[in-house]
A and B are shown apart, each in its own frame.
Chain A
Amino acid sequence: MDKKETQHIAKLARLRFDDDELTNLSEQMTGILKWVDMLQSADTSAVADISGEEKPLGTRKDEVKTAGLSRELIKNAPEPYEHFFTVPRMVE
């Protein structure tokens, strides 16, 4: 994985790295990916024949329930305004 590709993934992950960090991270990710590449040698051609044994997930009734926590939840916001979350201006 080269630095350019690492930079692209960082952008997707909304992370920022300086040049040294990118170099380091490219190396580490290359190492990790080389190691996980061993999976390519696993024969998964018959996987479709393995039937699922797990029980399907249960569903619950489609009812509106509220925890009534909106006032408390907003207290954890870094910059709340009344009962709103705020973000930097997006449109002029």
Chain B
Amino acid sequence: MNQLTELTIAELSDGFGKKKFSPSEVTKAYIENMAAHREYNAYITETPEEALSAAAEADSRAAGGRRLGKLDGVPLGIKDLFCTKNIRTTAASHILENFIPPYESTVTKKLLDAGAVFLGKTNLDEFAMGGANITSYFGHTVNPNRRKTDNAEVITGGSSGGSAAAVAGKLCAGATGTDTGGSIRQPSSYCGIVGMKPTYGRCSRFGIIAYASSLDQAGPMTRTVEDAAIMLGYMAGFDEKDSTSADTAVPDFTAALNKGVKGMTIGLPKELMEEELNGEISLAWKEGREILEKAGAKFTEISLPNMKYALATYYIIAPAEASSNLARYDGVRFGLRVDGKTLDEMYELTRSAGFGDEVKRRIMIGTYVLSAGYYDAYYLKALEVQKLIRRDYTEAFKTVDAILTPTAPTTAFTVEESKAFDPVTMYLQDAFTVPVNLAGLPGISVPVKTASDGLPIGLHLVGRHFDEETLFSAASVLERR
């Protein structure tokens, strides 16, 4: 094991600045790890040559005392949903298997401008639709943590499963993810890393292949809370190419790290406390509360009465938007084409061959809830319930600064176990994370414990709109125990 790949982003930055080691040395160490751990299937496309050439440039900046900042020379993994100029971008779909974007997404451009080194494009559920990273056209990802009770190989969670596996397995120092219903936080919990979904609008969506545009948001996946704060600082900011990105100042998130939680009031949703949770998850939640209490936070019960509707609401709104967003994959301008005698036949053959089962299922649900006769009963009703869910949070945040829950209802499971799930059971894995996307709020998952089966458990903190700082303060207390 190479010591360099054990270091956090903060430690790498410090070492580069003090010339203890160079970006090229670290990049090479990561490239070796990637080659040694292909069994995780964390990357769809590896870009070692581009990485080494970017690292060489970072070397000379470091040697000349001209570092661009904390990310300069830091090797990152990029979820293969971010368009990267001249680098294949697949969304883990057959339909985009050979797509090479001629432009760079705003978030990855910001990271490149900060001097980051991209090691490659990480695996995901096809078009980010899934919670186990088993719907990828390029095969499922494997969690670097194994289940001790039966030495079973378990899934990473999804949809940002490749990024989670790469960060946990030391195949990159940090990674980008996207989160529409839990796709950053849930795999972070399953793999034992930190994952932050910022407020909707905090990061530009320009150049991120769209799933459900009103819910999609990019965020960092890292080994420490400090690293997440560093990375988010570079990813966030207004972008005129995304009219939903917020024209709000980006604070120095790292300044919030050592603020502690004294005087902070944290809410516990009573609806969740009344539910029968998995014993070990429940215990981790209780222990997390005790840590924060000991550090000076006060706890109070809150009510989110409409949370029980969140998943059903999500599984109307997200597929509706997806069915519309994915209409562009028709074999005309980019991606796969399967020839047909007529235009319609070409569309149908192309889309049927190009999309996997879960994507087709969501397109079908979305098309149904938007179709004549069902639009009001399903889609409009879901938008109304979404407003109720938002109001619940607005009311709660009148008395609390953050909300603490588990991130996921279980630890990671095996591919075989997941095959026994019907679609609805699989969707329930996102029960604690989905409401946050519907309300557009920021949320962070922090690894707090290892369950008796050896698999990581994460806790989930949710904050007010554009108050990621409170989450970083509380998350670093949880992490430091």
Q: What residues of chain A have their CB less than 8 Å away from a CB belonging to chain B?
A: 1, 6, 9-10, 12-17, 25, 28-29, 31-33, 35-40, 42, 44, 47, 50, 53-55, 57-60, 67, 69, 72-73, 75-79, 85, 87-88, 90
Known: A13-B323, A13-B364, A76-B335. A36 touches B347 (CB 8 A): no
Known: A76-B99, A76-B335, A78-B331. A50 touches B391 (CB 8 A): yes
Task: List CB contacts (< 8 Å) of B433-477 with chain A.
Answer: 440
Known: A13-B367, A14-B330, A57-B243. A42 touches B100 (CB 8 A): no
Asked whether, in the complex, the Cβ of A38 is within 8 Å of the Cβ of B312, the reply is: yes
Asked whether, in the complex, the Cβ of B334 is within 8 Å of the Cβ of A36, the reply is: no
Task: List CB contacts (< 8 Å) of B101-155 with chain A.
Answer: 102-103
- How far is it, in angstroms, between the C-alpha of A39 and the C-alpha of B344 when the chains are bound? 35
- Per-position 1/0 for B317-341, Cβ under 8 A of A: 0000001000100111111110111
Task: List CB contacts (< 8 Å) of B294-351 with chain A.
Answer: 306, 308-309, 312-313, 315-316, 323, 327, 330-337, 339-349, 351
- How far is it, in angstroms, between the C-alpha of A78 and the C-alpha of B353 when the chains are bound? 15
- How far is it, in angstroms, between the C-alpha of A60 and the C-alpha of B246 when the chains are bound? 13
Task: List CB contacts (< 8 Å) of B165-194 with chain A.
Answer: none
Q: Which residues of A are found within 8 Å of B364, using beta-carbon distances?
A: 6, 9-10, 13, 15, 25, 29
Asked whether, in the complex, the Cβ of B388 is within 8 Å of the Cβ of A47, the reply is: yes
Q: Which residues of A are found within 8 Å of B240, using beta-carbon distances?
A: 60
Secondary structure of the A contact surface, majority rule: loop
Q: Which residues of A are found within 8 Å of B334, using beta-carbon distances?
A: 73, 76-78
Asked whether, in the complex, the Cβ of B335 is within 8 Å of the Cβ of A78, the reply is: yes
- Chain B min CB distance to A65 (Å): 10
The answer to the question of B34 belonging to the interface, with a C-beta cut-off of 8 Å to chain A, is no
Q: Which residues of A are found within 8 Å of B355, using beta-carbon distances?
A: 15
Of chain A, the residue at the smallest CB distance from B244 is A57
- How far is it, in angstroms, between the C-alpha of A28 and the C-alpha of B315 when the chains are bound? 13
Asked whether, in the complex, the Cβ of B346 is within 8 Å of the Cβ of A36, the reply is: no
Asked whether, in the complex, the Cβ of A28 is within 8 Å of the Cβ of B316, the reply is: no
**Contact count band on B:** 35 or more
Q: Can you list 20 A-B pairs with a CB-CB distance of less than 8 A?
A: A9-B364, A9-B367, A14-B327, A14-B351, A15-B348, A25-B364, A28-B423, A31-B424, A32-B424, A33-B365, A36-B378, A38-B309, A39-B312, A42-B381, A42-B384, A50-B390, A54-B440, A59-B243, A69-B102, A87-B332
The answer to the question of B360 belonging to the interface, with a C-beta cut-off of 8 Å to chain A, is yes
Asked whether, in the complex, the Cβ of B423 is within 8 Å of the Cβ of A32, the reply is: yes
- How far is it, in angstroms, between the C-alpha of A38 and the C-alpha of B310 when the chains are bound? 11
Asked whether, in the complex, the Cβ of A42 is within 8 Å of the Cβ of B388, the reply is: yes
- How far is it, in angstroms, between the C-alpha of A42 and the C-alpha of B391 when the chains are bound? 14
The answer to the question of B252 belonging to the interface, with a C-beta cut-off of 8 Å to chain A, is no
Known: A14-B348, A58-B247. A39 touches B423 (CB 8 A): no
Q: What residues of chain B have their CB less than 8 Å away from a CB belonging to chain A?
A: 99-100, 102-103, 240, 243-244, 246-247, 306, 308-309, 312-313, 315-316, 323, 327, 330-337, 339-349, 351-352, 355, 360-361, 363-365, 367-368, 371, 377-378, 381-382, 384-385, 387-388, 390-391, 394, 422-424, 440
Of chain B, the residue at the smallest CB distance from A24 is B357
- How far is it, in angstroms, between the C-alpha of A29 and the C-alpha of B342 when the chains are bound? 29
Asked whether, in the complex, the Cβ of A36 is within 8 Å of the Cβ of B335, the reply is: no
Q: Which residues of A are found within 8 Å of B336, using beta-carbon distances?
A: 78
Asked whether, in the complex, the Cβ of B381 is within 8 Å of the Cβ of A39, the reply is: yes
Asked whether, in the complex, the Cβ of B351 is within 8 Å of the Cβ of A31, the reply is: no
Asked whether, in the complex, the Cβ of B424 is within 8 Å of the Cβ of A29, the reply is: no
Q: Which residues of B are found within 8 Å of A17, using beta-carbon distances?
A: 352
Q: A9-B371, A15-B352, A69-B103 are in contact. List 17 more A-B contacts (CB 8 A).
A: A13-B364, A14-B347, A15-B348, A25-B361, A28-B422, A32-B423, A33-B368, A36-B315, A36-B316, A44-B388, A58-B247, A60-B243, A67-B103, A76-B333, A85-B332, A85-B333, A90-B342
Among candidates A37, A57, A60, A78, residue contacting B337 with C-beta atoms closer than 8 Å = A78
Among candidates A32, A50, A87, residue contacting B365 with C-beta atoms closer than 8 Å = A32
- How far is it, in angstroms, between the C-alpha of A25 and the C-alpha of B387 when the chains are bound? 31
Asked whether, in the complex, the Cβ of A76 is within 8 Å of the Cβ of B100, the reply is: yes
Known: A12-B367, A75-B100. A88 touches B306 (CB 8 A): no
- How far is it, in angstroms, between the C-alpha of A73 and the C-alpha of B343 when the chains are bound? 21
- Chain B min CB distance to A20 (Å): 13
